[in-house]
Structure 1
């Protein structure tokens, strides 16, 4: 796992740690990170299921050597943060990143000052969704390509984005094409195996912001409302004209919501 520094700061504000969605990498957060208000360190991880390619095209893949578990991803993230001296942070995850954020809050609660859950859910997959993930994992390994997930570049964004911002899907497609098939298969199996973590939200004492695109059909507004109802200190932000990739489709709106969360965490 690699942690990328998107913004540097040596002040007193809590750092923000950003966890990307599937099948992407840390680059999906760049526009949102740039829009965060105030001086604050911002880190973005390359999780399993991401090749974590840099601008030079060098991959930092490790998922092939790890068991398919998002708990393991959370433990690795905690170790990376500890190594760099980060003792407490605002942890934000989109989709798969949200699953890892909840695992981190359960397994390493001392690290998580606040939770940002963006276009994600706290429940486990249905049997149908789990079977679909495993099928994609098998197909990806069999073909040795990411062809099985390339269509997500269009399906993950909202109707408004498809109509008004076609460049967003083009950028997502380019990022997806750069992922490693073995990592994609690993992530699908890990997500299929994840448990329901609604209880983690119910027990979480810090501030929570749940963000969802109003056109998100993958983890819709109802899934966001479920998390807000479970968490004792949660706020809901619905992003207009956005689908499942709100941080890429409407980064300014997501940055505003996360800036407010970070400020709440600083004051807690």
Structure 2
């Protein structure tokens, strides 16, 4: 059941499931908290899960023209304060991983552990900066249905796209129901994101990096780039998965997460 709290000027929607050590799941773009349904059913039996809709996505609406990743991180920091959570393991996928790194930068005391899935710690380069801006403008001009029709196949490996209709339908529903203005605001902000490569060197607790073997957005080489800059980071490559391995191969993803949680 969804909960709402007034956080930093908006009604932030989130799920608060189970009891025990806290795991915070942070979704990617253009998704919502339901992308973690494949994990919440398993881990809520042993842990307390906090799963928010980020500002501009799902049921957490924003009317701002630009939303920086800093703002998304602060929303979660304030939410955890309201919920009296003092420490948690953070699991972030794609943009969610970048938000998790912002949380580490702003409030490292909150982190007991960190799982970065299919993400990139680096800032945009000159070309991708312009592409990110153009994406935001395109979302405003043409909406999410056009974006979904043209890009949904990029998020999944071909095997998932061909035979896992339930995953494909779930992904399509998340994408087309995302508010175009909210997503555009975050994409404008995401273009301005910091380079967190140097921050990786400071992380001194166990971390897990996960990537789909067929991810075209943040390929295995990107995950390897992060791992070489982190002390004792483990890298796991999930076979037959694209950019959202937690949905495409939930059994593999969940086993990796369970093994990691046993360590921390």
Q: Please give the per-residue CA displacement for 1:78-99, whole angstroms capped at 9, x wherever unaligned.
A: 0000110001000010000000
Residue in 2 aligned with 1:254?
253
Residue in 1 aligned with 2:240?
241
How far is the alpha carbon of 1:264 from its aligned partner?
1.9
Alignment counterpart, residue 8 of structure 1, candidates 3, 8, 18? 18
For 2:174 and 2:39, how far apart are their aligned partners in 1?
A: 17
For 2:122 and 2:27, how far apart are their aligned partners in 1?
A: 18
For 1:133 and 1:122, how far apart are their aligned partners in 2?
A: 16
Residue in 2 aligned with 1:79?
78
For 2:65 and 2:206, how far apart are their aligned partners in 1?
A: 32
Asked if 1:183 corresponds to 2:179, the answer is no
Q: Please give the per-residue CA displacement for 1:182-237, whole angstroms capped at 9, x wherever unaligned.
A: 11101211211111101121101111100000011110001111111111021011
CA contact (8 A) 1:202 1:231 kept: yes
Residue in 2 aligned with 1:31?
38
For 1:36 and 1:251, how far apart are their aligned partners in 2?
A: 12
Residue in 1 aligned with 2:3?
none
Asked if 1:61 corresponds to 2:61, the answer is yes
How far is the alpha carbon of 1:148 from its aligned partner?
4.6
For 2:232 and 2:81, how far apart are their aligned partners in 1?
A: 26
For 2:28 and 2:223, how far apart are their aligned partners in 1?
A: 16
For 2:111 and 2:65, how far apart are their aligned partners in 1?
A: 24
TM-score of the superposition, structure 1-length normalised? Answer: 0.89
For 2:240 and 2:36, how far apart are their aligned partners in 1?
A: 18
How far is the alpha carbon of 1:4 from its aligned partner?
1.1
For 2:136 and 2:65, how far apart are their aligned partners in 1?
A: 15
How far is the alpha carbon of 1:128 from its aligned partner?
1.8
For 1:168 and 1:104, how far apart are their aligned partners in 2?
A: 29
CA contact (8 A) 1:119 1:219 kept: yes
TM-score of the superposition, structure 2-length normalised? Answer: 0.90
Q: Please give the per-residue CA displacement for 1:119-167, whole angstroms capped at 9, x wherever unaligned.
A: 1111112222221111121122234x21353133221001221222233
Residue in 2 aligned with 1:220?
219
For 1:139 and 1:66, how far apart are their aligned partners in 2?
A: 14
Unaligned 5+ segments in structure 2 are 1-11
Residue in 2 aligned with 1:56?
none
Asked if 1:192 corresponds to 2:202, the answer is no
**Structure with higher RCO (Cα < 8 A, 6+ apart):** 1
For 1:264 and 1:99, how far apart are their aligned partners in 2?
A: 23
For 1:218 and 1:36, how far apart are their aligned partners in 2?
A: 27
How far is the alpha carbon of 1:67 from its aligned partner?
4.2
Unaligned 5+ segments in structure 1 are 53-58
CA contact (8 A) 1:153 1:170 kept: no
CA contact (8 A) 2:28 2:94 kept: yes
What pairs up with 1:105-120 in 2 under 5 angstroms? 105-120=104-119
For 1:246 and 1:105, how far apart are their aligned partners in 2?
A: 23
